[in-house]
Amino acid sequence: TYVLKRYWRPIRVNNPELYPTEGEIYEILDDGLDLEPKHAIAYHDIEIDGEIDSTLKLIRRNLVAQHYERRGKPLPAKRTKTDPDPSALLPEDRCHTNILMPMGESIRRFCNSLELLSCFPDYIREQKRSHDKLIIHRDANIGNLLIFERSKGTTFGRLMDYDHAKKAKEKIDITSYIRDLSSSELDIERKALQTILSHERRRKADNVVVGLNRQVDNEVLDRALKWFPEPIIGALYIAAVAKSTGLGNNASEKSICLSDLGWDEKDKVDKWPDFANREHGPGERTGTLPYMSGDVIARETLHTPPGFDEAPPFVHEAIHDVESLFWVLVNLCLTRKGPGAEMRREELYNESPSPER
């Protein structure tokens, strides 16, 4: 079963490599993807008598209102009726587009708890694949998380509708974030980090216990000291991972190594997609409000990372899309009384609930 998505997509004239169409994004995502069905079967721009069906050129015939002011780009203060600013008066052009896509079920219609919980790792893996191809979705919401059926009757989750997606032009080197420590500094901080990890220690602010029963390799200590601005922060991270995975419980086992924490060479990350050079278009959404990260809503970085004097400039990154998945799951837990299509909680149907509800 397929569905035809028809809508008016913005036409990007400048920097086409930063503004691929939704169909082109699906081509990028489906390249090398073994899982069926693909994101899109076919796509094309609609033509009328050989001319692309667009809002500005075909429908308006380039007609521009004399006093038109585009949102997000105010008219110059000195503009007069006889001397308009052409760029400010030009409406955004949109093209009529068709995309033939496989039809899935909304995550709202999950058939049991196992299906619900098994689909969310699929959504995260989808985000990881997209991120590896320099793409982030930017609008993960309850309507874009779908459930598809495999040929054997099992199901899997997929994130769809990339019409607000963002593509980076290139990856940037992230080694500038690594601390450059001399051998003497590294030796001193390594001893401090090992001491913190091997003793019961509590942070007054959040009451986190750091002490581990298991030894930690020097390679892990050195990597943590280069990536984290303070030994205590590196200790907290190592302890949290070790305890959540059961690595820190048995003192008789071998020391915790890089591969235990996912820090071995095969997972080493030296570059990261640079999304900072891609500006959003006029009136372009960056998410669906109930599921948006606080950073995205405020359009600023609300949390200042340790070691920074001030918060870095806001850029919509993959972590914001992961947070949107969390809010979708919270929404489902709060609004559904069980699996199935019509399992919304009864009190939510009442527009004016009583105090008892």
Q: What is the pLDDT of residues 252-262, one digit of tens each?
A: 567 888 888 77
Neighbours of 131 (CB within 10 A): 19
For residue 280, pLDDT beyond 90: no
Angle at 105 between CA 103 and CA 107, to 5 degrees: 140
Q: What pTM, to 2 d.p., does this model score?
A: 0.72
Instruction: Report the pLDDT averaged over residues 19-30.
Output: 92
CB within 8 A of 277, min separation 6: which ones? 18, 168, 169
CA–CA separation, 202 and 200 (whole Å): 7
User: Over 70: is that where the pLDDT of 86 sits?
Assistant: no
Average pLDDT score over residue span 258-271: 69
The pLDDT score that the predictor gives to residue 25 is 94
Residue written as tokens 């099992």?
Answer: 154
Query: What backbone phi and psi angles, to 5 degrees, belong to 101?
Result: -130, 155
- Give 193's strand partners: none
Q: How far apart are CA 25 and CA 162, in angstroms?
A: 7
User: Cα 156–142–304 angle (5° rounding)?
Assistant: 105
Residue 275, pLDDT score:
82
- pLDDT tier for residue 355 given thresholds of 50, 70 and 90: very low
- Average pLDDT (50-66) is 85
Are the CB atoms for 39 and 133 separated by under 8 Å?
no
Residues 328-351 have a mean pLDDT of 77
Q: Can you give the pLDDT at residue 205? A: 43
The residue with greater pLDDT, 142 or 92, is 142
The answer to whether 199 and 211 are in contact (CB under 8 A) is yes
Strands, DSSP E only, in the chain? 2-10, 42-45, 47-48, 51-52, 94-102, 105-106, 135-136, 145-149, 155-159, 166-167, 171-173, 271-273
Q: What percent of the chain has pLDDT over 90?
A: 29
* Residue 132 exposed, middle or buried by CB count within 10 Å (0-12, 13-18, 19+): exposed
For residue 290, the SS3 value is helix
Per-residue pLDDT tens digits for 229-238: 778 778 888 8
Of 143 and 301, the one with more pLDDT: 143
Contacts of range 182-188, beta carbons closer than 8 Å, 24 or more positions apart? 186/222, 186/225
Q: CA–CA separation, 331 vs 106, rounded Å?
A: 14
Q: Which residues contact 204 (CB under 8 A, 6 or more apart)?
A: none
Report the distance separating Cα 213 and Cα 255, nearest Å. 10
Q: 173 CB contacts (<8 Å, ≥6 apart)?
A: 270, 271
Report whether 37 contacts 25 (CB < 8 A): no
- Report the pLDDT value the prediction gives residue 204, as an integer from 0 to 100: 44
pLDDT tens digit string along 97-106? 999 999 999 9
CA dist 281 and 279 (Å) reads: 6
The pLDDT assigned to 352 comes to 52
- Distance in angstroms (rounded) separating the CA atoms of residues 216 and 223: 12
Mean pLDDT of the chain: 79
**What band does 166 get if pLDDT is binned at 50, 70 and 90?**
confident
- Whether the per-residue pLDDT at 168 is higher than 50: the answer is yes
